[in-house]
A and B are shown apart, each in its own frame.
Chain A
Amino acid sequence: MLRKASGVLTGKQRKVYLIAGGVTKFAKAHPEMDFRLMVKKAYDYAMKDVPKLKAKDIDHTRISYFSDHFARQLKAASMVQDFLGLNPKDSRRIEWGGATGGHCIQAGWETIASGRGDVCMAAGFETMSRVETWKGNEFIALASDTNFDYPNGGFYTGYYALMVQRHIYEFLRKRKFADVRDEKKAQRMAENEAMRIMAMISVKNHTNALHNPYAQFPVKLAVQDALKGEMISYPLNRPSICTMSDGAAVLMLASEDVAFEYTDKPVLIRGVGGGTDTMRLADRPHGSVPLFPWEDEATYESLDYPGVHSFRAGRSAAIEAYRHAGIKDPLNELSFVELHDAYASSEIQTYEDLGLCRYGEGYDFAELGHPFMKGIDYGMKLEHQGTIPVNPSGGLIASGHPVGATGIMQGVFALWQLQGTIGKHFGDDTQQVHDAKLGLIHSHAGTGSSVTVSILEAVR
């Protein structure tokens, strides 16, 4: 059990806090700003929020962007460092697919937790508007095995559709529609049921974004509208998929020694976790579920895991983060979750990976209203609305997904939730989770090949 002796569990690291953040409005294109100026705007916003913090106080920077193809500029992070006037401080680029932003925050955490420095900037950006949408899809698909996956039609939405189709089969066809004997008919019924619930997620996230001025796609939708969206890769339609964005986000991290000098509302990074899985979906094992301490083997006796239906990397990341943070009952301990909903399907799959419900209960969890915000009219009847708001910001589906900035954007929104400053930063406190104490951010790369989970705690 080497893992149990690993550093993160010794509790010997220095405590690390988020002290400020900034985000540019995510947009289809920002031709009036290049990537350096976008980061600069987010950086200036963060610095203005903690006026006592000066550029000279920043010891290190970690800068993330996903794709050299989109950037068309190698070592673009050096140019950000340069533009912000932060040379000759230590810096490096962080890249880990769609989870780039989440990893960048954790790289900042490691820098301070290890004692290497007291203040670290974690910044991220992506400029996806530089090519046409379908060329952009090609670039993204290059993050699948280019020998065995890409030449079949390289398309990430297609890969996620393959995953959710199996998820639907395992958890709706085999359970809710177990009595239907005609196999094809039963599968169609299960798929329709899943599409209806994914439309509910789409409505939730687009509605949440109505009150987020940084979001790219705030829109009032009805479930019927979301269901009518153009089919992209069955059963995923346009309203259940995030689009491409330009944007940047910045977080400032500080050690316990200095955090309170800069703000009286720092937010503690109480736990970090990471996990991985095979690049090729075809290689995913069919074994057993890595369990949380409160789960028992019998629960998943008949489930081949992860197969292609679930994200083992997400489950592994959650196990590590919960252990680090001492969380034993995430559903009741967490005040909100900002998770990587590049697809409405992944949001449902991720509820299960994170233990907000058991594997197989994700559809019911959504339908009953648990992940919706309290007090917001989504135009549907929800029995248990607001048990644990998921993506109160609107998530990737409605906020946008400029890959290198996305995970950091989640961190910024979570920081503001835990400070209770959503009203100040959004100019509207509708999306402020009341009395938020503990938040989870979840960042996810290509078909779940890498996932980070970080647990943030209000100390005000």
Chain B
Amino acid sequence: MKKFERFRDVMDEIKKSGAAIYKSPDGSDNLVILYPYSVSYVHSYAQDSRFFLGLAEGKLLGSVCKECGHKYATPRSHCMECGAETDWLELPKEGRVHSWTTCYFGSEEFLKETPFNLVLVEFEGVDTLFMSRLMKAKQDDIYIGMKVRAAFRKKPRYLVSDVYFEPAD
């Protein structure tokens, strides 16, 4: 079996052959193997389902509290302020950038999409924000207060990323 003094080399080797030995500075030989693990979950959106179905219809749904009237741009079935049940609330398509960043790295799942922009969007008269991607804009174009408009993926994947934003001006 191949033996290495650099752990990086061990990591490269196990991807090829499944096993390698790491010789550590203390002189010990350590057997390292590749140990795969994958799983597909059965995932119900439960009380939030209407939101994801709404995206497929080109609607952005938030919540409004039946008791205190608090408005949420990211839906929740019960009010965080008073605990009462909420109604669905269709949000305007246009909002403004409340905060933003451009990611040059990311989780493994999204690395191939980098660089991408994340934004928190605020809507007139709504008390909370909505996190999304901002497309068709480069780092230098973006600023807090910038007008953005919701756009929807034509073929829904039933993920929150079925909606994204674009510059509105």
Which A residues are closer than 8 A to B by beta carbons? 28-29, 31-32, 72, 129, 132, 134-135, 137-138, 141, 147-149, 151-155, 157-159, 161-163, 165-166, 169, 173, 183-184, 187, 230-236, 278, 280-286, 308
Let me know if B24 and A147 touch, CB within 8 A.
Answer: no
Cα distance, A308 to B139, chains bound together (Å): 20
CB pair A31–B22 under 8 Å, yes or no, is yes
Beta-carbon contact of B26 and A132 below 8 Å: no
A183 touching B24, Cβ below 8 Å: no
A162 to B35, CA, bound (A): 35
Which of B11, B35, B98 is in CB contact (< 8 Å) with A308?
Answer: B98
- In the complex, which residues of chain A have a beta carbon less than 8 angstroms from the beta carbon of B101? 158, 161-162, 165, 233-236
| CA gap between A135 and B159 in the complex, in Å | 20
Q: Mark B1-22, 1 if CB is under 8 A from A, else 0.
A: 0000001001100000000001
Q: Are A153 and B106 touching (Cβ within 8 A)? A: yes
Neighbouring A residues of B40 by C-beta, 8 Å: none
Interface centre among B74, B102, B132, B161 (most CB of A within 10 A): B74
The 9 closest A-B pairs by CB, nearest first: A161-B101, A138-B107, A32-B24, A166-B99, A282-B129, A134-B108, A155-B106, A151-B159, A282-B74
The residue on A at minimum CB distance from B110 is: A153
- By beta carbon, the residue of chain B nearest A32 is B24
Task: Chain B residues near A135: list those with CB within 8 A.
Answer: 107-108
Q: What are the residues of chain A within 8 A of B98 when measuring CB–CB? A: 166, 308
In the complex, which residues of chain A have a beta carbon less than 8 angstroms from the beta carbon of B143? 183-184, 187
Which of chain A's residues has its CB closest to B163's CB? Answer: A152
Q: Do A282 and B128 contact each other (CB < 8 Å), given the known contacts A147-B48, A153-B113, A161-B101? A: yes
Interface string of B123-144 (1 = CB under 8 A from A): 0000111111100000100011
A59 to B117, CA, bound (A): 51
Q: B6 to chain A: closest CB distance in Å?
A: 10
Q: Report the minimum CB–CB distance from B130 to chain A (whole Å).
A: 6
Q: CA of A234 to CA of B103 in the docked complex: distance in angstroms? A: 7
Q: Are A154 and B110 in contact (CB under 8 A)?
A: yes
Query: B22, B111, B131: which contacts A152 (Cβ < 8 A)?
Result: B131
**A198, chain B: closest CB distance, angstroms:** 14
Task: Give the docked Cα–Cα distance between A154 and B131 (Å).
Answer: 11
Contacts of A161 in B (CB 8 A): 101, 103, 118
| Chain B residues near A183 (CB-CB < 8 A) | 143, 145
Can you pick out 11 interface pairs between chain A and chain B where the beta carbons lie within 8 Å of each other?
Answer: A31-B32, A134-B108, A149-B131, A153-B118, A155-B103, A155-B105, A158-B103, A158-B106, A230-B104, A233-B102, A282-B129
The answer to whether A234 and B139 touch across the interface, beta carbons within 8 angstroms, is yes
Q: How large is the interface on B (under 10, 10 to 19, 20 to 34, 35 or more residues)?
A: 35 or more
Given contacts A187-B144, A281-B131, contact A162 B107 (CB under 8 A): no
Q: Nearest-CB distance from B123 to chain A (Å)?
A: 11
A288 to chain B, nearest CB (A): 14
Q: Is the CB of B107 within 8 A of A134?
A: yes
**Interface assignment of B120: CB less than 8 Å from any CB of chain A:** yes
Q: Which residues of A lie under 8 Å from residue B32 when comparing CB positions? A: 31
A32→B120 contact, CB < 8 A = no
**List of A residues within 8 angstroms of B113 by Cβ:** 153
> How many residue pairs bridge A and B at CB < 8 Å?
147
Q: Are B7 and A147 in contact (CB under 8 A)?
A: no
A193 to B107, CA, bound (A): 28
Q: How far is the CB of B30 from chain A (nearest CB, A)?
A: 5
Instruction: Give the CA-CA distance A132 to B103 in the complex, in Å.
Output: 18
* Distance in angstroms between the alpha carbons of A216 and B145 in the assembled complex: 40
A157 partner, pick from B26, B28, B103, B130, beta carbons under 8 A: B103
Selected from A138, A155, A162, A283, the residue in CB contact (under 8 A) with B74 is: A283
Q: How far is the CB of A200 from chain B (nearest CB, A)?
A: 21
CB-defined contacts of B106 to chain A, threshold 8 Å: 134, 137, 153-155, 158
Q: In angstroms, how far is the closest chain B Cβ from the Cβ of A449?
A: 14
**What residues on B are CB-neighbors of A233 within 8 Å?**
101-105
Shortest CB-to-CB span from A24 to chain B, Å, is 13
Q: Which of B18-42 contact A (CB under 8 A)?
A: 22, 24, 26, 28, 30, 32, 35, 37
Chain B residues within an 8 Å CB radius of A32: 22, 24, 26, 28, 30
Query: Using Cβ atoms and an 8 Å threshold, which residues of chain B touch A162?
Result: 99-101, 118-120, 131
Q: Which residues of A contact B160 (CB under 8 A)?
A: 147-149, 151-152
A267 CB to closest chain B CB, in angstroms? 32
Q: Which residues of A contact B30 (CB under 8 A)?
A: 31-32
What is the CB-to-nearest-CB distance from B120 to chain A, in angstroms, rounded to a whole number?
6
Closest to A160 in B: B101
Q: Give CA–CA (A147, B113) in the complex, Å.
A: 19
Complexed CA–CA distance, A180 and B124 (Å): 25
Contact between chains at B108 and A137 (CB < 8 Å): yes
Contact across chains for A31 and B108 when beta carbons are under 8 A apart: no
Q: Mark B25-67, 1 if CB is under 8 A from A, else 0.
A: 0101010100101000000010010000000000000000000
Residue of B nearest to A30 (CB): B24
> Are A165 and B133 in contact, CB atoms less than 8 angstroms apart?
no
- Besides A137-B108, A138-B107, A184-B143, 6 more A-B contacts (Cβ < 8 Å) are A29-B7, A151-B161, A162-B120, A230-B104, A282-B74, A286-B127
Which A residue sits closest to B48, measured CB to CB? A147
Asked whether, in the complex, the Cβ of B118 is within 8 Å of the Cβ of A152, the reply is yes
A352 to B159, CA, bound (A): 37
Which residues on the B side are within 8 Å of A232 (C-beta)? 103-105
* A230 nearest in chain B by CB position: B104
CB of B159 within 8 A of CB of A283, answer no
Q: In the bound complex, what is the Cα–Cα distance between A187 and B160 (angstroms)?
A: 29
